[in-house]
Amino acid sequence: MFVGIDHGTTAMRFASRKNQFKMTREEATRFSISDLARLCPPDEIEGIALCYSMGDNFSKITPIDKVKNRGIVSREGAGKHIGGGTKVFDEVKKSGIPAVVIPGLHRGSPTDPRFKAYSHQASPEKIGIAFAVCNDLGDDVVVSDASSNTVTLLVSAGKLAGAFDACIFAPGTRHGALDVDAIRRVDAGECTANEAFQKAGVNYSLPDDGDLRMRTVAMFSAMECAALLLLNPRARVALAGSLAPTIAPEVEALLGQDVAVYDEWCASRGLAAIALEVFSGARSILGVDVDL
């Protein structure tokens, strides 16, 4: 049995090929390896693929005992720090179960160098999403993951070409790019940049109108997809994340094409599939090298 662990914005999601469960990140501060019995007996787990935060200080899929600082440059920066992801990472590491850590996409990643105008392109669970979608749709895919934040990736000829991170372009419900107003508030000392990022999503920037908020997320998600389709017009389009079923009709209408829809479990399932491939001898995943 192989397990994938998704370190999401609001929850930790755990999946095998057949089963799944999630914990809020607050609940995950009490995680123990015995919790994986909800998937299968822990002694039957042959390998785990997991993520931690932005995964930005390494660029290869790496055994958990070889990554430094849990695979991140710093805990400072964009995102909310609770401790659930840290607890899960450390419990898996000390369990002795074979485990690999998935990197994020950043300037050290094998993506199109033009995307490296920005330091960070996508957090590591998005590689799990891309892998799951490519297994279904083929080697040319644009996939937009929309939930608390929105991140969109391009896979061309079976390799990750690049992505738009949440702080660059499209808002989610909680997070988004810092606009002029946010920059002014940061400069005035009213909040930190990270605090501004965490309140730049449509739940904060728009009136309390659920339809308007979802149509806005859909529009920006579609715009990210359209931008990446410039680089690969033949790519099929997919949506993932908790908002995917809600925004799919609007995204389809804006793009003028069918869109495949995946749910919030896409990342953890994709990571479980990556674990199977890695521990079966794969040397790369979507162009990301494996360093076992």
Look at residue 43 and tell me if it is in a domain.
Answer: yes
Look at residue 284 and tell me if it is in a domain.
Answer: yes
Taking 50 as the pLDDT cut, the residues of the chain under it are none
pLDDT of residue 223: 98
Closest by CA position to 55, among listed 1, 4, 120, 11: 120
Look at residue 196 and tell me if it is in a domain.
Answer: no
Residues 103-142: pLDDT tens digits? 999 999 999 999 999 999 999 999 999 999 999 999 999 9
pLDDT of residue 78: 59
Look at residue 34 and tell me if it is in a domain.
Answer: yes
What gap in Å lies between CA 129 and CA 50, rounded to an integer? 13
pLDDT of residue 76: 62
Look at residue 194 and tell me if it is in a domain.
Answer: no
The boundaries of the domain holding residue 258 are: 2-171+210-289
pLDDT of residue 117: 97
CATH number of the domain at 256, please: 3.30.420.40
What sections of 82-233 are H helices per DSSP?
Answer: 84-95, 125-137, 180-187, 193-197, 202-205, 210-229
pLDDT of residue 79: 57
pLDDT of residue 80: 64
Look at residue 184 and tell me if it is in a domain.
Answer: no
Q: How many CB atoms lie within 10 A of CB 230?
A: 8
Backbone φ/ψ region at 31: left (φ over 0), alpha (ψ -120 to 50), beta: beta
Look at residue 199 and tell me if it is in a domain.
Answer: no
Look at residue 183 and tell me if it is in a domain.
Answer: no
Q: How many CB atoms lie within 10 A of CB 111?
A: 23
Contact 86, 71 (CB under 8 A): no
pLDDT of residue 75: 67
Tally of domains in the chain? 1
Residues 172-184: pLDDT tens digits? 999 999 999 999 9
pLDDT of residue 267: 96
Q: How far from the centroid of its chain's Cα atoms is residue 94's Cα?
A: 24
What gap in Å lies between CA 146 and CA 221, rounded to an integer? 7
Query: Which CA distances in Å does 53 have to 103, 165, 172?
Result: 9, 13, 17
pLDDT of residue 82: 73
